[in-house]
Amino acid sequence: MSDVLLPSAELAYSAPDAAGFYGPYGGTFVPETVVPALAELAAAYEQALADPAFTEEFAYLLRDYVGRPSPLYRADRLAEAVGLGAVYLKREDLNHTGAHKVNNTIGQCLLARRMGKKRVIAETGAGQHGVATATIAALMGMECAIFMGTEDIRRQALNVYKMRLLGAEVIPVADGTGTLADAVTAALRHWVERVEDTFYVIGSALGPHPYPRMVRDFQSVIGTEALAQLEEKGVGHLDAVIACIGGGSNAIGTFYPFLSALPADQRPLLVGAEAAGLGLESGRHGAALTKGSPGVLHGFYSYLLQDDAGNPLEAYSISAGLDYPGVGPEHSYLKDEGLVRYEGVTDAEALAAFALLTRTEGIIPAIESSHALALLPRLAAELGSEAVVMVTVSGRGDKDMDIVREAGLGG
């Protein structure tokens, strides 16, 4: 992998276009009142990327505040248990605040400060994005409000307490199912009303342009580090890379550098793990890419779970971070182009993977991350016992203790 950072230009992956479309997906489907704010944001983002002071402060905070680079750990006992030659874990769970979410919140809060915004809002499901946003708002002296569904507040009480401790206002959203999609709707509605003084820190690679690209760019530190670490460790061949998919931020942050920095014939198999919930045929899942169809949701066009009239359906997962009825538009494009494969993982499979990593390596992952880990036995059967696979462990499992205890794990 010594020459992986120097592909020929015609083999490099590149998206979106100037209007924020990844093929047919993405775009800006919002009320006219919001269009100027999004145009201002896009312009401010381009200016920030061209400013060395911005990129240097972002890199400094990732290094000295978050603790990056996150380790790339060879999990030999796990590899033996699943029947693979080697498994490498990209340890986003070791970041400050316990997940990948902080990479993006730092970038967006720096941008908010640059734009003169004194107040930030965010949506959250599992609570990790809410905690990360509240953390960076406290660091930068900003007012912060977090929208969270009432069901997720119940499931993620520890993270709710952390957000409030950090000084954020947690705003319950009881509409619909009281989960992530409803929190996004409420946050967008609020932003429309307060766009002059408020910056909306979107937590995943979705929403209207330029959010999917911004989130991808800020999260691409995951895959960029992994490429360098694989080379440092002398891993000459990598067969597959796995990440979990809800909205898709940790996954696109992992996959994008492999797509953009590697020629097609050098890329490993890229696999995203969606929430199959109680089963893909049960109607109780969050697998928008596997079982959904293209439509518009929350300002962008992408695959989503919807009825015949185009209304979003309820998504379900044991994981509060994966029960969103849509997915980021870049993932939809990657699916259609065959550049990434997406597979459903049930609650039961995710819980089994959670227990396996915990008991073989002493690492307690988030249930979201456990969906990605659950694909390891499948890939062993497909690729063989000598295959080398990397998994992004997007977060740690402290927040999920009540859920796994209710599920009967651990005695």
Is residue 293 among the annotated active site residues? Answer: no
The question of whether 101 is a catalytic residue gets the answer yes
123 part of the active site: yes
End-to-end CA distance of the chain: 44
Distances (CA, A) of 281 to 134, 287, 291, 301, 324: 38, 11, 9, 24, 17
Strand ranges (E), 249-374 = 269-277, 293-297, 300-304, 341-346
Q: Check if the beta carbon of residue 257 is closer than 8 Å to that of residue 316.
A: no
Q: Looking at 330, 349, 394, 399, which residue is catalytic?
A: 394
Question: Do 307 and 283 form a contact (C-beta atoms < 8 A)?
Answer: no
Instruction: Tell me which DSSP letter residue 122 carries.
Output: E
What would the two tokens of residue 313 be? Answer: 């359906």
Length of the chain: 411
Please tell me which residue in 90, 101, 335, 399 is annotated as part of the active site: 101
* Count of beta carbons in the 10 Å neighbourhood of residue 150: 17
Q: Say which of 123, 225, 330, 343 is annotated catalytic.
A: 123
Cα separation of 189 and 276, whole Å? 29
Are 347 and 61 spatial neighbours (Cβ–Cβ below 8 Å)?
no
**Quick one: CA torsion of 334, 337, 338, 344, rounded to 10 degrees?**
50
Q: Give the active site residues.
A: 101, 123, 394
